[in-house]
Structures are given as structure tokens and as C-alpha cells.
């Protein structure tokens, strides 16, 4: 798909020092745009953007999106929010504020500047789905008072806000529902299944599988996801979404554990633990809308995407070991 950008734009990316945000920063800089990267560094890290410190079209602001931001921009990608259970359950009230107040503040900025605005929503809006795979017109099966509700329900509220601003003020919105994504720059302690399994395998620790491991997930490589972001943002004004972005290839958690052990040549053994509360049994996107509207589908198979992801974690763990050895 040819790029529709015809001039340099000033683009704001909230959560820009995070896993997805930093990859998006790289892609947009490569396309010639000016980037304003905003992050409070709760789960993001300067390590992810250190290589851009001297870039003439890159600017970093440490800022929490629960407070208003007054800048001039042409486009906004709203990615700010802790996205793994360990991080979003650490301070659930703040998680809700980040999604809801953050959406209000970014929508207010878009309204003032007439910027096009993208919302990074999530497959968690579907909860523990009773429809499989999940199409965008499925309303979900979410526990509104459970341990995960701070994330699930605040993301659902953010979507409602985006569509109300679109209907009431005519904002040009783009809403993507992101399914499990993996790749380099994932946080080693985020509690997500890919990063957890790789770190455990590299340390030859037991691989912890919750339940019998028959629950399924789909795993999308980060480069494929970012391509989906760009294609959605480039659509004409009438295309709002929501649009599912993820890999429809489905794997059981046990299959993933076995593949990680094989690719890391690990001596780890698989151990089973009780399922966490509200853990969905199935999660797989119906991406027919992304295919028909965006001409998008993932191209990186799991085994190919795991290879650079494993290298990333080897490097991280190697640096950590070196620091420990020198007392750093």
C-alpha cells in the first residue's frame, strides 16, 4: 500500500517510549515526520528511544496524559496506558484515569488543533468472549467489577468518548483494537506470556503455564502491527474503525511454551499453576475488516518473529548480569 503522506507532519505519540510507541516513533521518523514523544515513563523507558536523542525531528516530553497538554500538532496517536496485567493492576485507579482522562485530554487537544487522532484500543474490550473469533460488531463479555476491569472498562469508555467526540464535534478519529503483540523492546517483567516464557527459558527456570495450557492466544509481530496503525491513520475521514489488528493464527499457551523452549535451547520444564481470575479462554481476531478496508494482514509467522524477540531478551539479561557482576 503506497504511503498517502504528501508533506511533513508534526505527530504526537503518547506512550511513545513504550514497546509499541517506540516502534511507531521509528517508523514515522523514517517517513520524514516530526515526532513529539510523550511518556511519563511508568512502563516506558528511555532505553527504547535513546538512539533518537540527537535526531533533529524528534522531541521527548516527560508528561502524564491525565493532565492537559498544550502543543500544536497535526496528528495524535494515543497509546498511553499500561497494557499488561502486572502493570495495570499495580495501580488500578491510575490505570482508569490514564485511559479515561487521557482520552479526554487528547480528544480536547485534537478538537482545538483539528488534528486527526488515533486510539490504541485493545482486544480486552471483548473480555472472555462468547463469540470466536471476535469481529468488531461483537459487544464483548466483560466483568465490570473484576481485577481486569480497570483496563477493560476504561478502554471501552475511551472508545465511547472517541465516538462521541466524532459525532458531536466532527473529529477525525481512528480506533484500532490491538490483539496480543510481541517483539523487541517488550518489558521483561510485564507478565505477558511471550516475555515471561522467554525470560524463564533463557534463565532455565520452570515455564509457568496457567491451567492446562489449552487456552489460546494469537500473536502479532510488532512490525506487522505498526504497519496496520499507519494504514488505518491514512484512511479517508469517514473510516473511523474500530478495526481489529492482530494475527488470526491461533496457538495454545502450551504450544507457545514448547516453541520457546525449543528456540532457546532451554533446559526449562513446564509447570502448571491455577488460572488467574477473568483470564479469557480464547482470543483471536476476525481481521476481515482490516483486510478489506486497509489491505492489511500480518506477514511475520510466530517462529520468525520470536527469533529477534529472543535476541532482545538475551541482550537485556546479559546486560543485567554484567551490571550485577560489577556491582552496578
Question: Three cell numbers at 34?
Answer: 516530526
Mean pLDDT of 90-103: 92
pLDDT band, residue 323 (cuts 50/70/90): very low
- In this predicted structure, the answer to whether residue 324 has a pLDDT above a threshold of 60 is no
Contact indicator for 50, 91 with CB cutoff of 8 Å: no
Cα separation of 154 and 99, whole Å? 6
Share of the chain above pLDDT 70, in %: 93
Mean pLDDT of 48-57: 96
What structural domains and CATH numbers belong to the chain?
10-180+220-248+284-300 (3.40.50.720)
pLDDT tens column, 113-157: 999 999 999 999 998 888 889 999 999 989 899 888 888 999 999
DSSP E strands: which ranges in 33-91?
34-39, 58-62, 75-78
Give the relative orientation of helices 19-30 and 222-233 as an angle to the nearest 10 degrees.
60
Q: State residue 325 phi and psi, 5-degree precision.
A: -70, -30
DSSP state of 203: T
- Spot the catalytic one: 77, 88, 151, 221: 151
Q: Check if 88 is active-site.
A: no
Q: Cα–Cα–Cα angle for 149, 151, 152, nearest 5°?
A: 60
Contact indicator for 195, 187 with CB cutoff of 8 Å: yes
Distances from the Cα of 291 to the Cαs of 4, 64, 102, 285, 288, in angstroms?
A: 18, 35, 30, 12, 5
pLDDT tens column, 224-267: 999 999 999 999 999 999 999 999 998 999 999 999 999 999 99
Contact indicator for 150, 92 with CB cutoff of 8 Å: yes
DSSP E strands: which ranges in 67-159?
75-78, 116-122
Q: Cα–Cα–Cα angle for 122, 128, 132, nearest 5°?
A: 85
Amino acid at each position: 500500500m503506497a504511503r498517502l503522506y504528501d508533506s511533513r507532519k508534526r505527530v504526537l505519540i503518547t506512550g511513545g517510549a513504550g514497546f509499541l510507541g517506540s516502534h511507531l516513533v521509528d517508523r514515522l521518523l523514517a517517513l520524514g515526520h516530526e515526532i513529539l514523544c510523550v511518556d511519563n515513563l511508568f512502563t516506558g523507558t528511555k532505553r527504547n528511544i535513546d538512539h533518537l536523542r540527537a535526531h533533529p525531528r524528534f522531541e521527548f516530553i516527560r508528561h502524564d496524559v491525565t493532565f492537559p497538554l498544550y502543543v500544536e500538532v497535526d496528528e495524535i496517536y494515543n497509546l498511553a496506558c499500561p497494557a499488561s496485567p502486572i502493570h495495570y493492576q499495580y495501580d488500578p485507579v491510575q490505570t482508569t484515569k490514564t485511559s479515561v482522562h487521557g482520552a479526554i485530554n487528547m480528544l480536547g487537544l485534537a478538537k482545538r488543533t483539528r488534528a486527526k487522532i488515533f486510539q490504541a484500543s485493545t482486544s480486552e474490550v471483548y473480555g472472555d468472549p462468547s463469540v470466536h473469533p471476535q469481529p468488531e460488531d461483537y459487544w464483548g463479555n466483560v466483568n465490570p467489577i473484576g481485577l481486569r476491569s480497570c483496563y477493560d472498562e476504561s478502554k471501552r469508555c475511551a472508545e465511547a468518548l472517541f465516538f462521541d467526540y466524532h459525532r458531536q464535534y466532527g473529529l477525525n478519529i481512528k480506533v484500532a483494537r490491538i490483539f496480543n503483540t510481541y517483539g523487541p523492546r517488550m518489558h521483561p517483567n510485564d507478565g505477558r506470556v511471550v516475555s515471561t516464557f522467554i525470560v524463564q527459558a533463557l534463565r532455565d527456570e520452570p515455564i509457568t503455564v496457567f491451567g492446562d495450557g489449552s487456552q489460546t492466544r494469537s500473536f502479532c509481530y510488532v512490525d506487522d502491527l505498526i504497519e496496520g496503525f499507519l494504514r488505518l491513520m491514512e484512511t479517508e475521514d469517514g473510516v473511523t474503525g474500530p478495526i481489529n489488528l492482530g494475527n488470526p493464527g491461533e496457538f495454545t499457551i502450551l504450544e507457545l511454551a514448547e516453541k520457546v523452549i525449543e528456540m532457546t535451547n532451554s533446559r526449562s520444564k513446564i509447570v502448571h499453576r491455577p488460572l488467574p481470575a477473568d483470564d479469557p479462554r480464547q482470543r483471536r481476531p476476525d481481521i476481515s475488516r482490516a483486510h478489506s478496508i486497509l489491505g492489511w494482514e500480518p506477514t511475520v509467522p510466530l517462529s520468525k518473529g520470536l527469533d529477534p524477540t529472543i535476541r532482545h531478551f538475551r541482550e537485556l539479561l546479559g546486560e543485567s548480569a554484567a551490571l550485577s557482576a560489577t556491582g552496578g
